[in-house]
Structure 1
Amino acid sequence: MRSESNELLSIFDRIYIINLAHRDDRRREMDAELRRIGLSLDHPAIRMFPASFPPDQGDFPTRGARGCFESQLGVHRAILADGVTRALMLEDDASFVPDFRALLAAIGDDLRWVDWDMLYSVSPLDQQPGDEAVGRHLLRLSPDHTFPLAHFVGFSRRFSETAVPYLEAIYGRKPGDPAGGPMHVDGAYCWLRADRPDLTILGTRKPLAVQRSSRSDIAELRFWDRLPVLRQVTAAARRSPAVLRMLHMLRGRK
């Protein structure tokens, strides 16, 4: 049986990890995640991509939305500049699921024979009207099947060739423009998919990665992240499933 690293690199020629330059903690955590599957940040197929840290929100809904949008647009430009055929983009708070190896092996063959343009693996997916099953573990998503998050997404070069001018146009418009103004990047991908139904968009029924709970540098910080001592305790506690559940409950009461 192939190792997780060989399986992953048989699908993607390059892995881009979006990371803020001053977030050493997330780099260490991401390196630990990669080592779980036989890779590391030192592997030649892996590139740390500097995340955007904008001074303000500009015309975007939030400062964080602007930073994510600029960062992912930058990854698409890098894919084209680097001559990559298929790339995986990870945000630095992505965490591989416990059964990553089995899931990746199950979808690997299908991903190699389908000429896909975008691969979502960010949340559980149920088949919706217009979707088509691809094997047992993948769905060919209709343009109407939309959902948030973009922490584990694969792209073909063809998709990036489309995405760069499309995202640049959104970035340059004013809010509320009927053609699509500044918005969250996952929303922009949904707009692109609706405008380009010829692109083949796949989703995994079960996600290959989830998001680690981690302090944000751009979103408004909660009290436990603003106090230095509590910040250190919280960083360690976030790895506890019980604490994660408590934090999610607190967020839901906001």
Structure 2
Amino acid sequence: MKFIEFFDRIYVINLPYRVDRRQAMEKELEKAGMPFTPGKVEIFSAIRPDTAAPFEKIGYKGAFLSHLSVLKLAKEYNLNNVLIMEDDLAFSEYFQQYEDVLIEQLHKINWDIVHFGYFSEQVFNQNKNSFGKLQSLSTGIIGAHFYGVNNKIFDRVINFFELSLKMPLGHPDCGPISPDGVYNLFQSKHPDVVRLITIPSFGGQRSSRSDITPQWFDQLPLLKQFASLTRTLLKN
């Protein structure tokens, strides 16, 4: 079974004026067997707020609100699951090779959230013998550019996103942060949630100017070095 068959709806988050990203994503999806299709694979018009408050930057706020809105749409449409992508996603060359295997595993697992694309030290040393497997996530990850959410967790995730909006910036329980940060803290507060990652990451992020999801980790020396190395590994 393919992703387009398994997931009830696939959304690509894209700012309307970023036609360049939309066109690049259209090519990625066609190569991956998931062409834009009304009611199945659709663009979600990303939110671009007028102000950053209470976030540090407008881009962080826009990403947060966009991911939250997609989850609300999935709940409103009573979807069994939803696959969320950002418009700078670049599929790994191995994606289609292991696509069926990943879906077969998801059919057998009681999963809540699964990340198909990410940056994480948890799987820093990986080899092809372990490719195509799902693994429980034991640490935080960087990236919310390619992931799926099961409907049985919609309410809890949405509530956590909304609760974080009510907290001040820097609050230890969450606060206004990036979507990947929200999911990391959500997992730490709800250890019963089954959050998975694929081995390896099957989606990186294309290098281009980002409006909605600035790569904040590229501004920190250690994480910048890690992210750079991870991107290199994804290309090999």
Shorter-normalised TM range: 0.7 to 0.9
How has the CA–CA distance of structure 1 residues 10 and 114 changed in structure 2, closer, same or farther, with 3 Å as cutoff? farther
Q: Which amino acid aligns with 2:196?
A: L
* Partner of residue 183 from structure 2, selected from 178, 189, 204: 189
The answer for unaligned runs of 5 or more in structure 1 is 1-5, 129-133, 221-244, 249-254
Q: Equivalent residues in 2 for 1:199-214 (5 A)?
A: 199-214=193-208
How far apart, in 2, do the equivalents of 1:35 and 1:112 lie?
24
Do the aligned partners of residues 36 and 188 (structure 1) sit closer, same or farther apart at CA in structure 2, a change above 3 Å counting?
same
In 2, Cα distance between equivalents of 1:112 and 1:14 = 17
Residue in 2 aligned with 1:155?
Answer: 149
Aligned to 2:221: none
**Match of 1:14?**
9
Query: What letter corresponds to residue 199 of structure 2 in structure 1?
Result: R
- Name the structure 1 match of 2:65: 70
Letter in 1 for 2:145: H
Pairing 1:67-146 to 2, within 5 Å after superposition: 67-123=62-118, 126=122, 137-142=133-138, 145-146=139-140
SS of the residue aligned with 2:33? coil
The question of whether the paired residues in 1 share the 8 Å contact of 2:11 and 2:84 is answered with yes
Q: Does 1:39 align with 2:34?
A: yes
Distance 1:136 1:45 in 2: 25
Partner of 2:48: 53
Q: In 1, are the aligned partners of 2:118 and 2:144 still within 8 Å (CA)?
A: no
Within 5 Å, give how 1:163-178 maps onto structure 2: 163-178=157-172
Pairwise CA distance, 1:96: 1.1
SS in 1 for 2:2: helix
Instruction: Provide the rounded CA distance (Å) in 1 between the counterparts of 2:192 and 2:39.
Output: 33
Tell me whether 1:25 sits opposite 2:20 in the alignment: yes
The whole-number CA distance in structure 2 between the counterparts of 1:92 and 1:138 is 24
Question: Residue 174 of structure 2: which of 135, 159, 180 is its match?
Answer: 180
Rounded to whole Å, the distance in 2 between the matches of 1:111 and 1:218 is 30
Instruction: Name which one, 1 or 2, has greater alpha-carbon Rg.
Output: 1
SS in 2 for 1:65: helix
Name 1:235's counterpart in structure 2. Answer: none
C-alpha distance in structure 2 between counterparts of 1:91 and 1:40, whole Å: 15
Evaluate the alpha carbon distance shift between residue 14 and residue 59 of structure 1 in structure 2; reply closer, same or farther with a 3 A threshold.
same
- How far, CA to CA, are the matches of 1:135 and 1:101 in structure 2? 12
Q: CA RMSD in A?
A: 2.5
Change (3 A) 1:89 1:136: closer
Structure 1 counterpart of 2:218 = none
* 2: CA distance, partners of 1:217 / 1:136: 32
TM-score, scaled relative to structure 1: 0.76
Does the 8 Å contact 1:124/1:204 carry over to 2? no
- Count of aligned pairs: 211
Counterpart for residue 241 of structure 1: none
Rounded Cα–Cα distance in structure 1 between residues aligned with 2:98 and 2:119: 13
Whole-Å Cα distance in 1 between the matches of residues 2 and 53 of structure 2?
A: 41
Q: What is the deviation of 1:11? A: 2.5
